[in-house]
Structure 1
Amino acid sequence: MSFHDVVFPSRLAFGASGGPERHVEIVRLANGLEQRNARWSRARRRYTISTGIKSFADLRNLLQFFEDRGGPLHAFRFFDPVDHATAPPGQAVTPLDREIGTGDGTTVQFRLALGENRPVTKPVPGTVRVAVDGIELSAPDFSVDHLTGIVTLAEAPGEGASVTAGFGFHVPVRFDNTQLAVTQTAFDAGEIPDIHLVEVFE
């Protein structure tokens, strides 16, 4: 599967619902106790979009986006309105938001992440801020691969130096539909009631 570096149209995503999904196997024992086993090491996000009544022009753009992705064949970026940055909603990211590594004197590449089990592979271009031991870096002291989430520093941080970052990000998703069904609701308007997106791990 390949990735198309485009964002799902925000105009058509308004009102989307969804969030993280965990797969936990729960076994109820005869004595009333439970055994719970996590089948996934990390959460996978799912989203449902109902377009509501839209013009045929909007729906055609959505159908074209679906066709250009080959339906569920190719992944793309999705803006989660609640979970899209290292900073809390309404606040600006800072270079101290998240620890992404510790210097050893030789390593220059670090992966953006929101914790041990949630790497970020699709940071939003222009939003990534990086610091080493609390001192913010600027170009050309670091660069970012916006398709992998790898930060490359021009100079390896010293032994024990804290490497931190703040950033905005998109969720890589694919369509979980093989068909989009348009319902005509007016002479020149219609809706697509159920569009399902599922996060892809890379």
Structure 2
Amino acid sequence: MAFHEVRFPADVSRGSMGGPERRTEIVTLANGFEERNSPWAQSRRRYDAGLGLRSLDDVARVVAFFEARGGQLHGFRWKDWADHTSGLPSQAPGPEDQVLGLGDGETQVFRLVKRYGDAAAEYVRDIAKPVAGTVVAAVGGLPMREGAGFEVDTQSGLVTFDRPPPEGTEVTAGFAFDVPVRFDTDRIGVAVDDFRSGQVPALPVVEVRV
């Protein structure tokens, strides 16, 4: 499968519904206790793009986008309006939003990640599709900007520093990001209400690993 580095129309995805899903296997024992296990190490996002369509123009744009992706064939970028930055959605990314790791005096490449959790547990999510021009970083609290201390690969989420961060130094970053997805159907059903409005009852989108 190829991945196309283009984003689904963000003004349409803003009205969509979706979020993370997990898979949990539950077995109830004879004594009433449960055994719970998950075969998934990572969560996966699902969305319904059809809910964001408001006009025939929206429908036409989405149909054109769907055709260009070949239905389920090619992946693309998706903006999750509820979770698209390293910090809170209402705030601009800051250089100390997320901890990427500790310097060892040799490693120059760090992967962007976003951490979720509380005192009981933490989930670390790999970020593969940062938005170009949004990544800021810091080494030991010293802010840096792209092109002045580090470079970013927006197709993989890897940050390469010009010099290895010193041993024991905390490496942090802030960024906006997209979710790598594909359509989860090879068919679009369009309903036209009148000459100005239309709707697509359902257009499922699912996250993919890249």
Q: Normalised by the size of structure 1, how large is the TM-score?
A: 0.95
Give me the whole-angstrom Cα distance separating, in 2, the residues matched to 1:152 and 1:42: 25
* Cross-structure match for 1:187: 195
Query: How is 1:1-202 mapped onto 2 (pairs within 5 angstroms)?
Result: 1-49=1-49, 50-55=51-56, 57-115=57-115, 117-138=124-145, 139-202=147-210
Q: How far off is 1:51 after superposition?
A: 4.2
SS in 2 for 1:107: coil
Q: Which amino acid aligns with 2:65?
A: F
SS in 1 for 2:113: coil
Residue-by-residue CA offset, 1:128-160 (whole Å, 9 max, x unaligned): 011000001232310000000000000011111
SS in 2 for 1:58: helix
SS in 1 for 2:126: coil
Q: How far off is 1:48 after superposition?
A: 1.0
Residue-by-residue CA offset, 1:48-73 (whole Å, 9 max, x unaligned): 12245412x33222111001011111
Contact 1:51/1:191 (8 A) holds in 2:
no
**How many residue pairs are counted as aligned between the two chains?**
201
Q: Which amino acid aligns with 2:48?
A: T
| Cα RMSD for the two superposed structures | 1.3
Give me the whole-angstrom Cα distance separating, in 2, the residues matched to 1:187 and 1:4: 32
Give me the whole-angstrom Cα distance separating, in 1, the residues matched to 2:160 and 2:83: 25
Contact 1:131/1:165 (8 A) holds in 2:
yes
Residue-by-residue CA offset, 1:27-78 (whole Å, 9 max, x unaligned): 11111110000110011000012245412x3322211100101111111111
Give me the whole-angstrom Cα distance separating, in 1, the residues matched to 2:19 and 2:59: 24
Q: How far off is 1:11 after superposition?
A: 2.6
Give me the whole-angstrom Cα distance separating, in 2, the residues matched to 1:183 and 1:122: 33
Contact 2:102/2:171 (8 A) holds in 1:
yes
Identical-pair percentage: 46
Q: Normalised by the size of structure 2, how large is the TM-score?
A: 0.91
Go from structure 1 to structure 2 and tell me whether the alpha carbon gap of 1:126 and 1:53 turns closer, same or farther (over 3 Å shift).
Answer: closer
SS in 1 for 2:70: coil
Contact 2:13/2:80 (8 A) holds in 1:
no
